[in-house]
Amino acid sequence: MLLCSLLTVLLLAGCTNVSQMQQKYVAGDLGQLDNLIEIVARHDYPYATRRSAARALGQLGNPKAVPALIGVLGEYDQRTTLKEESLRALGALGDPAAVEPIGRLLDRSLDQAGAELRLAALPVLGQLGGTPAAAILLRALRYYDLLMLRAEYAQRRGVFSGEEQRLFFAADSLAAGRRGAPMLGVFGEEQMPATSMFGTDMNMGMMELPDPTPEERTQARAALLRVGPAAVPAIVECLATQDLSPGLRQELQELLAQLQPAAPDPAQTEAPPPPSE
pTM of the shown model: 0.74
| Residue 33 domain flag | yes
In this prediction, residue 11 carries a pLDDT of 40
Q: What CATH number did the domain enclosing 62 receive?
A: 1.25.10
Q: Verify that 232 and 105 share a domain, yes or no.
A: yes
Of 70, 93, 116, which closes a domain?
A: 93
pLDDT reported for residue 194: 55
Residues 16 and 141 in one domain: no
- Tell me: do 89 and 45 sit in the same domain: yes
Q: Find out whether 227 and 134 touch, Cβ atoms under 8 Å.
A: yes
Task: Kindly state whether residue 230 falls inside one of the protein's structural domains.
Answer: yes
**In this structure, are 114 and 243 located in the same domain?**
yes
Domain contains 271: no
264 touches 270 (CB < 8 A): no
Q: What pLDDT score does 260 carry?
A: 87
Range of the domain at 84: 10-93
What does the angle CA 61 – CA 127 – CA 106 come to, to the nearest 5 degrees?
A: 105
Residues 50 and 115 in one domain: no
pLDDT number for residue 151: 78
Domain boundary among 75, 93, 111: 93
CB-CB neighbours of 227 under 10 Å = 25
Q: Are residues 87 and 16 in the same domain?
A: yes
Determine, yes or no, domain membership for 1.
no
* Same domain flag for 127 and 71: no
Closest CA to 89 of 115, 51, 146: 51
Q: Examine the domain organization and report whether 112 and 68 are in the same domain.
A: no
Q: What is the Cα–Cα distance from 38 to 57, expressed in whole angstroms?
A: 11
| pLDDT by position in tens, the chain (length 277) | 444 444 344 444 445 699 999 999 999 999 999 999 999 999 999 999 999 999 999 999 999 999 999 999 999 888 999 999 999 999 999 999 999 999 999 999 988 778 999 999 999 999 999 999 999 999 999 999 998 888 777 666 666 776 766 544 434 444 444 444 444 444 344 554 555 555 555 555 445 667 899 999 999 999 999 999 999 999 999 999 999 999 999 999 999 999 987 545 555 545 556 666 5
233 and 148 housed in the same domain: yes
Based on the number of CB atoms within 10 Å of its own CB, is 131 exposed (0-12), middle (13-18) or buried (19 or more)? middle
In a domain, 204, yes or no: no
Domain count, the chain: 2
**Do residues 63 and 98 share a domain?**
no
| Whether residue 151 is found in the same domain as residue 22 | no
Position 174 scores a pLDDT of: 45
Q: For residue 268, tell me if it sits in a domain.
A: no
Structural domain contains residue 194: no
Q: Is residue 37 part of a domain?
A: yes
Q: Would you list the DSSP string of 138-199?
A: HHHHHHHHHHHHHHHHHTPBPTTT--B-----TT-HHHHHHTTPPPB-TTS-B-S-SB-TTS
Distances (CA, A) of 23 to 14, 38, 54: 17, 17, 15
Where is the domain boundary, 93, 127, 148? 93
Together in a domain, 231 and 144? yes
**Nearest-angstrom CA–CA distance, 217 and 223:** 10
pLDDT of residue 130: 95
